[in-house]
Structure 1
Amino acid sequence: MPALVLFGRRSRVGSDDLYCPALFMVLYQVPLLLVAVLYVSVWRSCSSMHFSHRGVPFWFMLGAIPLYGFMLCVYLMVVHVSAKGTIIDHERRMLMPRLLHVHIVWSLIMVSYGVMGLYFWYAGDLCMPDAEFVLVLAAAMVAEVSCTFTFGFCILGGAPHHETHEIVMEPNGNATSSERQALLDEVERSIPNSDVYVPQQQRWERRCNRCCSCIRCFTCNLFGGAGTQHDSMSVVAHVFARLFYGSPDLVISDIVAGFILLAAVQAREDADMLEQADEEETTLAELRRRNKKNLETPNRPPSASMDSHHHHRERGDSYIAIEVPSPPPSSSSVAPESDPELVENVLEFAHFSKYAIGIYGWMLYVWSHPWSGTFRLAFSCMKKNLPYIHGDNFFHLHQTALQLETNVRSQDIVYASFHNSVYRPAFCVVLDHQRKEVVIAIRGTLSLEDCLTDAIAYGMSLDDVAERWGCDGAGEHAHQGFLHCAESVYLDINRLGILEMLFDPNSNASVSESEVNICEHGAYSDYGLVGTAVLLSIILRPRYPRLRCLAFSPPGCTMSKGLANRCDEFVTSIVVGYDIVACSSLNSAEDLRDQVIDLISRSKVGKSEILRQVVAWKKPHELLHEESNYGNSAFGLQLANYRTMLQRIQANEPIHEMTLPGRLIHLRRTAVHPEGGGCWVCCRPGRSVCCTERSDYHFHWSSSEHFRRIRIARTMLDDHFPDKVHHVLQDCASRLRQREFQCV
């Protein structure tokens, strides 16, 4: 920061972003310069030094030496200047615009010289093989200038005009008090010079529409998108405009560097916690060992013990023995694998996870079975068209994938809808005869419409819903998009009379044979009811008190804390590893934003060194100051203005605090085994295209308080994938069954 200004326009990069491009161009220039020098001094064969067509190769190569030499010096200066200062200390890079102006002028000279060389090679009668040298260097000049100018157009094309603000600086580099007060008084004025944070809701709406259109184009509508032209897009735009409203003058690379710094800080925190835990465990084990040794020692008279103690004190090497007995077997000290309720819940999750991934259809099936999924679908998709399965394609691929994942018969599928739009997710109602349960499985995020639903993350009051359906939730809030989805699915189930047909033998509800798999009324009245959607379960709970909800990787912004606590009786959630979705909410996103900006202000090294942190890990104190040291600089004024603006926004439009629902089980990996890299990792069983470890996970009861902050980790995205959650649960279940078998 700030963004580099050229020709009165604010570019999309900073002056410290040109380090890598300039370094690459240096590596590109050096071989060409060596070729020109070696040709003039050693390699010249048929050309002469006369001013004729036979001397063209020599004089062209000779003229290329100063051209390449000067351009090489320009690139070296760009590398040197770009590496100066820190992200916020941009005054040491003030020479960068002038260097780029010189580069542009010299590039025009080079491209003219290269075009002239190509003309001589094409039209002139140059001797061979010297003409080939002319062709190579001339083409290299034209290609280099074309690439650099294309890069320049990419960072300047469509960029807004730069608005200059006069800032009177004191001799020590700080802004004067009058200017500082003037800037702080302008908190209502947005800061337009930012690629990351923009205040206009309309601008975000256009961006979202363009993004959806591009994804639809590049994926050939594979992930939907036709339903994204929806009124709710304005709500999504409002969410993003609220989250990214105004900021200091930052560019994208500044945000990337901030995330790298945050990852380094969090990794160091984890390492310190593990080290502290190991030390505590070692100390406790040593104390217990001493205690056990003392207990095994024959009893001595108290006087002897006191004399011995006095003798030790006189020697000056006395110590105080602290008796730390082994803890009694209680609920708090029992190992998680020995908690019967926890084990039962994990086994239950492992059993019903097949329905949670089966409803995703053929795309997730191919993703999770990259080597055999296509063939299984191809040889199994010749199925009869079933009237109670809606929204499937011509080859019945969704139905096939559902049956392959769940191993259910077609007659056990009561109803399935793969139609998808905003607020209308795919879902199915399936009979599980093994556990005597009716399962309602609702699909998570797979299409652009689902992403749009997820992004409508404001808290919505449940008062109207509680009054309309007679359910719990009065005075509480829930995720707006998820709440609309829950009501949509409930209306479909209620309209079709599915649950009444299955559970109520006295029901007179008429069920359409063209939409639902008809069975005798009340035939499954002794079955339980299991759902995978929390808000739908809350709506259904008054009519079906035996209902239980198993929430697989729910978002951290599902419902308010009071309602989450009231759901403990029938809702259990499970989270794997560092799942970013489980930590995601508007509050955690704002905290993440503020942390990144704070780390940017504390950085004490350049951006190039921060980017090297990806491959050469350093300790945070080598990259960051203890406290922000921007003082009264221009960045400090912008940051103070920005934070004051955020405080006013939060006061005028507060965000409801949301959390994970029900009781929470957390699965974390403990053992780390060295594994080979490359594509061969994917060939092992239980691996998908995106491979991370899926075994050696342990589980324990957790609290939603542990998921209030987003953590940057290698597996934070993959830990949310439904197929990984399924395989991790299967691995845990297999280990539990093995242990039970060994005990027997």
Structure 2
Amino acid sequence: MPGMVVFRRRWSVGSDDLVLPALFLFLLHCAWLVVLSMVLFSLPYSLGQSCSVTLVDHGRGYLGILVSCLICEIAIMWLSMRGSILYTQPRDAVQYILYIRLAILLVELVYAVVGIIWLVQYYQPCSDVTAKNLTLGIVACNWLVIFSVLITLLCTFDPTGRTFVKLKATRRRQRNLTTYTLRHRLEEGQASSWTRRLKFIMCCTRAQDSQSDAYAEVAILFAEFFRDLDIVPSDIIAGLVLLRQRQRTKRSTILDQANNDILAFLSGMPVTRNTMYLDLKNSAEMAMYKEVCYYMLFALAAYGWPMYILRKPGCGLCHLASSCPCVSVSGSQLPQSVTVEEDNCCGCNVLAIRRHFLDQDLKQVHIVYTSCHDAVYETPFFVAVDHEKKKVIISIRGTLSPKDALTDLTGDAERLPVQEPQGIWLGHKGMVFSAEYIKKKLEQEMILSQAFGRDLGKGTKHYGLVIVGHSLGAGTAAILSFLLRPQYPTLHCYSYSPPGGLLSEDAMEISKEFVTAVVLGKDLVPRIGLPQLEGFRRHILEVLQKSDKPKWRIIMGGTKCIPKSELPMDERPLGPTDPAPSTRLWLHPSDLSIALSTSTPLYPPGRIIHVVHNHPPDRCCGQEEPTYSALWGDNKAFDEVIISPAMLNEHLPHMVMEGLNKVLKGYAPSEVQTQTEPGEMEAGGFLASPTLLSSPKHLPSTPSECSTAPSTPSESDTLPLTPAQISD
């Protein structure tokens, strides 16, 4: 950072990113230099043959090229490791070494062409085996290097690079009209570039009008995020490492402060005396929590055969094959009353859903309708009747395809198509459209009427309605609940790992009446929305500006146990050898005053159950199993991305299922002291345990298996203990 300028064009690579590429080429050329030297000076040649004489001269010339390459690559590595991310002055000479290296590459290209010509003319008639092998080696080495360089150039090419350089130059000369024109061209070029990338990713899908609109909106989102930012991909990686270290240091500093109301940090969230844990000793609250665990099975089943095989890698495929009519003649057939839309030829998704419930011994769950239709703003879902719970369940699938990702990324605020009694009800645009699609589908196909009238003898007409989903499905389920609630006022929604940018504040408060959400640990998705992206962007720039370490050391430091001094976060006085701030920072385009376009704050829905865990300290080798507990989360507290290796893993649906079950398994009568992640200890230095932090009535009892009545936490559910009591 900033991007390297070569041939008057900015490239998507920094001058400090060349350490590894240069090292790769250096090792390759060293190996080939040793081999070529041994072949040329140790092995005998038939000098009477013209092909051998020509080739020996050619090989000796190539030795000179190898030596020149090694010198250039050593220089590139040495220069790239100098300076820091923003202090690029020690690396200014890199571009001139690159010019020399590219000139040598042209000579290598000539040698590669000459080698191919030699092979065409002499390979068959030449009887010198050594000469043949030497030629093949030289040609293979040449073309390997050439193709690697070409691929690197293709990956780092910035279509707007020339405009970016011109804009930088005009800003220095204060040419306002020219600057405005170039800025407009740059924004259009970046949006077009992101559109082409998205279309390349979606090249195998059929284009639709809604999909084209999604391309444009998502491209604008990415262009807006990177607007006026002269950063390269590796800067973001380094920024994540630095930001994680800053967050950990900040938590430790807060806990070390005297008279601090924060007792501990669990999964990155502060725990105070006002934090409300789920009182699982209370029968109503335990029943509610078991309902949350139970309906997660339906959200998990909506993913179909990919998730079924992922969860059962050993026998999952065999179970599906034994029931598949394409493989087994005796495979089980679907009942005629099940309507299936756009499943594959073998019906693998519906079979996986059925097997999922049979494996859980839920024989009273009958599938009524399954839609595997997948498009932008059109999410797959299924409808089932659960005779044991006396519920009709709509389960909506989460993100599983590039089309789903486009729906996720269309995150502007859209008005909910319902009558608002008060306030303004806004929601995530892509998920509002998905909810409208499912509602329209339910009405056109009369799916709910079929479900409620499926077995009148069992009273299905009086069953309740439950809507569930995970991730994209969680957001769509919450918004669909708004759309169906006028017709089904007693419905309830279970939203697992919902997106953070989902509902406006007014809609979020209303959703607490009928939506229960679940967030696991440091899950990224419930903490991400357009406003959060702006804060994340600003924090990344802040830590990059404060860093005085080379990028390669920062990134390597994020993959191993190193002293904290290697990743400094706090500002320090400038020393006599430190560069002045004006030379360390390129104030534009990496200016912190530049913000994203204003966006409406959106929040995760419903009453949030936050499943947290006490992690043991990080170690170089191995970790102990963390202890899980559940507390009531604040919707507005999920406003910052917590950088952690688990922030993506804890979003996976089967991990959410495991986390919910571990809360039940972890609740035991005894108070067991647990360990916390570094920076997650209470102020006195004592390890904090959920059972120790909760009141006596929170002491859990050993639960039985999962089964509801949502309860509202009361004032008595707070944490009344003093630090002295916690120390015990």
Show the 5 A alignment for 1:65-464. 65-113=63-111, 123=122, 131=131, 134-135=134-135, 138-139=138-139, 141-151=141-151, 153-155=153-155, 159-160=159-160, 162-163=162-163, 164-165=165-166, 182=174, 188=180, 191=183, 201-213=191-203, 216=204, 229-244=211-226, 246-269=227-250, 337-338=280-281, 340=283, 342-381=285-324, 382-384=332-334, 386-391=336-341, 392-407=343-358, 412-462=366-416
Q: Check the 8 A contact 1:415/1:430 in 2, yes or no.
A: yes
Judging changes above 3 Å, is the alpha-carbon distance between structure 1 residues 55 and 490 closer, same or farther for their aligned structure 2 residues?
closer
**8 Å Cα contact 2:560/2:620 also seen in 1:** no
TM-fit CA distance, 1:350: 0.9
Q: Can you give the 5+ residue segments of structure 2 that lack an aligned partner in the other structure?
A: 265-272, 325-331, 469-476, 573-578, 670-699, 706-728
Q: What is the CA-CA distance between 1:604 and the residue it aligns to? A: 1.0
What letter matches 1:398 in structure 2? N
The 3 A distance-change label for structure 1 pair 595 and 339 is farther
Q: How does 1:459-470 map to 2 (within 5 A)?
A: 459-462=413-416, 465-467=417-419
How far, CA to CA, are the matches of 1:167 and 1:728 in structure 2? 50
Residue identity in the other structure for 1:255: I
User: In the superposition, relative to structure 1, how do residues 271 and 627 fare at CA in structure 2: closer, same or farther (>3 Å)?
Assistant: closer
Structure 1 counterpart of 2:718: none
Contact 1:346–1:733, Cα closer than 8 Å, also in 2: no
Corresponding residue SS for 2:647: coil
Q: What is the Cα deviation at residue 664 of structure 1? A: 0.9
What secondary structure sits across from 2:650 in the alignment?
A: helix
CA contact 2:378–2:438 (8 Å) conserved in 1: yes
Q: Is the 8 A contact 1:694 1:728 kept in 2?
A: no
Bigger radius of gyration among the two:
1
CA positional deviation for 1:574: 0.4
Aligned partner letter, 1:712 = I
SS of the aligned residue for 1:575 comes to strand
User: Is the counterpart of residue 6 in structure 1 residue 31 in structure 2?
Assistant: no
Q: How big is the shift at 1:615?
A: 2.6
- Which deviates more, 141-150 or 452-461? 141-150
Specify whether residues 696 and 154 from structure 1 end up closer, same or farther in structure 2 by C-alpha distance, changes over 3 A only. Answer: same
Partner in structure 2 of residue 478 of structure 1? 427
Structure 1 residue 87: deviation in Å? 2.1
- Residues 375-424 of structure 1 show CA distances to partners (whole Å, capped at 9, x for unaligned) of 11111233136354231333232222222223455983333333333333
Name the amino acid aligned to 1:240: F
Query: Deviation of residue 569 (structure 1)?
Result: 2.5
**Secondary structure of 2:517's aligned partner:** strand
Q: Deviations over 1:251-304 (max 9, x none)?
A: 222223222322332344456668889x99999xxxxxxxxxxxxxxxxxxxxx
Report the secondary structure of 1:26's partner residue: helix
Tell me which residue corresponds to 1:721: 652
2:557 match: 613
Q: Which residue of 1 aligns with 2:678?
A: none
CA distance in structure 2 between the partners assigned to 1:674 and 1:631 by the alignment: 35
Deviations 1:486-526 (A, max 9, x none): 233233334455556766xxxxxxxxxxxxx7443993354
Which amino acid is the alignment partner of residue 77 of structure 1? A
- Alignment TM-score, normalising by the size of structure 2: 0.75
| Corresponding residue number in structure 2 for 1:524 | 460
Sort the Cα spacing of 1:348 and 1:604 in 2 relative to 1 into closer, same or farther, 3 A: same
Q: 2: CA distance between counterparts of 1:473 and 1:554?
A: 24
Superposed CA RMSD: 4.3
SS in 2 for 1:371: coil
| Distance across 2 between alignment mates of 1:668 and 1:608 | 33
1: CA distance between counterparts of 2:222 and 2:391? 41
Contact (CA 8 Å) 2:338, 2:369: kept in 1 or not? yes
2:181 & 2:585 partners in 1: Cα distance?
A: 16
Paired letter, 1:104: L
- The answer as to whether partners of 1:553 and 1:581 remain within 8 angstroms in 2 is yes
Q: Which residue of 1 aligns with 2:24?
A: 24
Unaligned runs of 5+ in 1: 169-177, 284-329, 504-516, 682-691
Q: Aligned-pair distance for 1:576?
A: 1.0
- Equivalent-residue separation in structure 1 for 2:412 and 2:547 (angstroms): 33
Q: How many residues align?
A: 638
* Aligned AA (1:700): L
The one-letter amino acid of 2:222's match is: F
Alignment-derived partner of residue 587 in structure 2: 637
Report the alpha carbon displacement of residue 555 of structure 1 after superposing the two structures with TM: 0.7
Residues 55-74 of structure 1 correspond to what in structure 2 (within 5 A)? Answer: 62-74=60-72
Cα pair 1:476 1:563 within 8 Å, conserved: yes
Contact 2:278–2:630 (Cα < 8 Å) also in 1: no
**CA apart distance, 1:669:** 3.0
Q: CA–CA distance in 1 between the matches of 2:293 and 2:20? A: 48
Query: In the alignment, what sits opposite 2:479?
Result: 535
Query: Which of 330-339 and 563-572 deviates more?
Result: 330-339
- The alpha-carbon distance between structure 1 residues 630 and 483, as it changes in their structure 2 partners (threshold 3 A), is farther
Q: Give the AA of the match of 1:723.
A: H
* Secondary structure, aligned partner of 1:390: strand
CA distance in 2: counterparts of 1:64 and 1:167, whole angstroms: 41
1:316-358 deviations in whole A, cap 9, x for unaligned?
Answer: xxxxxxxxxxxxxx99687854455543332111111111111
| CA–CA separation in structure 2 for the residues paired with 1:281 and 1:201 | 44
User: What is the distance in 2 between the residues matched to 1:570 and 1:584?
Assistant: 23
Q: Percent identity?
A: 25
Cα distance change of structure 1 residues 157 and 528 upon mapping to structure 2, 3 Å threshold: closer
| Alignment partner of 1:488 out of 429, 437, 440 | 437
Q: Quote the residue 2:515 is aligned against.
A: 571
Pick closer, same or farther for the CA change 1:487–1:271 going to 2, 3 Å.
Answer: same
CA deviations on 1:511-570 (whole Å, 9 max, x unpaired) are xxxxxx744399335433322221222233333332222111111011012221222222
Equivalent residues of 1:583, 1:707 under 8 A apart: yes
Distance in structure 2 (CA, Å) of the matches to 1:556 and 1:5: 38
Contact 1:403 1:410 in 2 (8 A): no
For residue 146 of structure 1, report the CA deviation from its aligned partner: 2.2
Amino acid at match of 1:351: Y
Which residue of structure 1 lines up, in the alignment, with residue 631 of structure 2? 700
TM-score (structure 1 length as normaliser): 0.74
Report the alpha carbon displacement of residue 76 of structure 1 after superposing the two structures with TM: 0.6
Q: Are the equivalent residues in 2 in contact too, given 1:11–1:155 (CA < 8 A)?
A: no
SS in structure 1 of the partner of residue 543 of structure 2: helix
Shift, 1:74, TM fit: 1.2
Cα distance in 2 for residues equivalent to 1:459 and 1:547:
25
> Structure 1 residues 187, 697: CA separation in 2 closer, same or farther (over 3 Å shift)?
farther
